[in-house]
């Protein structure tokens, strides 16, 4: 099967933690504003059906194009990466492989931390953004719907997401494993995206720490968050340097294009552990010049596993089976969408032949029973079209080729 819209094919182009380190991924990350511009650009180019996913572990564009380079060019245009660098670390998936890749991504099978469920929220945001800018077509709408169904089923009916399965959880696990008396340390969380929110929650619930301070660029969002989590204290952005001086641990998840924590922000000589959960990295690596500072990034955190990893790996076949089921449903929908117009066109052509022949025989034969002839020939038309549907549904059938043959035989035009 080849997914096609006006001779375009479905591609997924991008890079991930598998081939690209944190620095390289940072260069190819795409800001929310640039994602909007990219979608607008793609629409102007006539690309029908496209969305962008840019997270700490991957940057990908999925959509219909004549050639994958159309999407690669957009990715490089709206990031700070170069095409030459992209080629050495990239992945390009086409048609069924692109579909399978999206299912694996949404279910956590392709995550840097097996079973990472934070990706689902990020995917939903990407889909909503594309929907808002009207760059999703019926194909992608249906695919996304089934991908999210599969993700939900994997989450609810397997143990793939048990234990350390997200960056935010891994950060807290790192603190628990590496820091003595962690529950009494002063912890500053800088940034309140999804990762920042989940980190705060895990620090309170899992690390049992009651000394968490939160700073966010938009202070009102931080104050709204602490209404539901009153154990977290809020401080303002202009007090960042002051709060860092009080902290034993700094967790950064600001998601900016440039470092939000620099050497100038660190004014004390006491030991400070910094966990940078941002992509691109938001902590200037110049801070490593300070002997008192330890800096850990996402790639280092992803190496952390706990005792549930073996149990989670056993759940992979179950997740694969769920993916197969939903993917098969999507392929069946695609085939049905493709051959229904062909079946209808064939039926209309046969009915035209039927009406012409009955009309001809009625004029030629004096006592010709037109009503009975219509009943008989209608049954024949129904049997022929039913047989055609069975043929198109058969596994060894080339749907495109069969439709082309029927089109030529009956001289019919098929509009999808």
Phi-psi region of 113 (alpha: psi -120 to 50; beta: other; left: phi over 0): beta
Q: Which of 3, 13, 56, 298 is catalytic?
A: 56
How many whole angstroms separate alpha carbon 76 and alpha carbon 25? Answer: 12
Q: Are 303 and 360 in contact (CB under 8 A)?
A: no
Q: Residue 280: is the preceding peptide bond cis (ω within 30°)? A: yes
Beta carbons within 8 Å of 375's beta carbon, 6+ residues apart: none
Active site residue 200: no
Neighbours of 308 (CB within 10 A): 16
Neighbours of 359 (CB within 10 A): 11
Neighbours of 310 (CB within 10 A): 10
3-state secondary structure of 416: coil
Place of tokens 């052509």: 349
Instruction: Give me 305's structure tokens.
Output: 């596993």
- Encode 228-251: b = buried (16+ Cβ within 10 Å), e = exposed: eeeebebbeeeebeebbeebbbbb
How many whole angstroms separate alpha carbon 90 and alpha carbon 81? Answer: 12
Measured over the CA atoms of residue 200, residue 203, residue 206 and residue 208, the dihedral's sign is: negative
Question: DSSP secondary structure string, 339-357?
Answer: HHHHHHHHHHHHHHHHHHH
**Phi/psi of residue 122, each to 5°?**
-65, -40
Residues recognised as catalytic: 56
């Amino acid at each position: 099967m080849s997914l096609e819209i006006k001779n375009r094919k479905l591609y997924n182009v991008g890079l991930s933690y598998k081939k690209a380190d944190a620095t390289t991924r940072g260069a190819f990350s795409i800001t929310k504003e640039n994602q909007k511009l990219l979608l607008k650009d793609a629409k102007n180019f006539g690309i029908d059906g496209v969305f962008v996913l840019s997270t700490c572990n991957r940057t990908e564009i999925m959509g219909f194009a004549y050639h994958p380079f159309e999407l690669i060019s957009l990715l490089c245009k709206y990031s700070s990466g170069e095409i030459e660098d992209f080629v050495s670390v990239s992945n390009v998936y086409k048609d069924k492989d692109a579909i399978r890749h999206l299912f694996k991504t949404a279910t956590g099978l392709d995550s840097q931390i097996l079973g990472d469920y934070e990706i689902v929220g990020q995917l939903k945001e990407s889909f909503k953004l594309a929907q808002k800018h009207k760059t999703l077509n019926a194909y992608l709408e249906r695919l996304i719907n089934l991908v999210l169904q599969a993700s939900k089923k994997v989450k609810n009916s397997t143990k793939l997401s048990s234990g350390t399965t997200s960056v935010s959880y891994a950060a807290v696990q790192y603190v628990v494993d590496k820091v003595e008396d962690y529950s009494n340390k002063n912890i500053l969380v800088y940034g309140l995206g999804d990762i920042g929110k989940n980190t705060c929650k895990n620090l309170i619930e899992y690390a049992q720490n009651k000394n968490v301070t939160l700073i966010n660029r938009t202070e009102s969002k931080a104050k709204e968050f602490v209404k539901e989590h009153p154990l977290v204290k809020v401080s303002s952005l202009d007090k960042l340097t002051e709060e860092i001086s009080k902290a034993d641990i700094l967790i950064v998840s600001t998601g900016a294009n440039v470092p939000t924590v620099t050497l100038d922000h660190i004014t004390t000589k006491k030991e400070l552990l910094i966990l940078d959960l941002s992509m691109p990295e938001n902590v200037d690596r110049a801070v490593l010049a300070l002997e008192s500072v330890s800096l850990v990034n996402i790639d280092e955190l992803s190496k952390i596993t706990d005792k549930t990893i073996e149990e989670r790996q056993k759940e992979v076949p179950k997740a694969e089976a769920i993916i197969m089921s939903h993917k098969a449903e999507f392929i069946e929908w695609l085939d049905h969408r493709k051959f229904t117009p062909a079946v209808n066109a064939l039926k209309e052509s046969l009915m035209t032949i039927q009406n012409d022949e009955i009309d001809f025989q009625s004029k030629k034969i004096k006592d010709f029973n037109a009503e009975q002839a219509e009943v008989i020939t209608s049954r024949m038309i129904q049997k022929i079209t039913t047989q055609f549907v069975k043929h198109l549904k058969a596994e060894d059938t080339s749907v495109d080729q069969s439709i082309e043959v029927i089109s030529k035989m009956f001289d019919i035009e098929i509009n999808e």
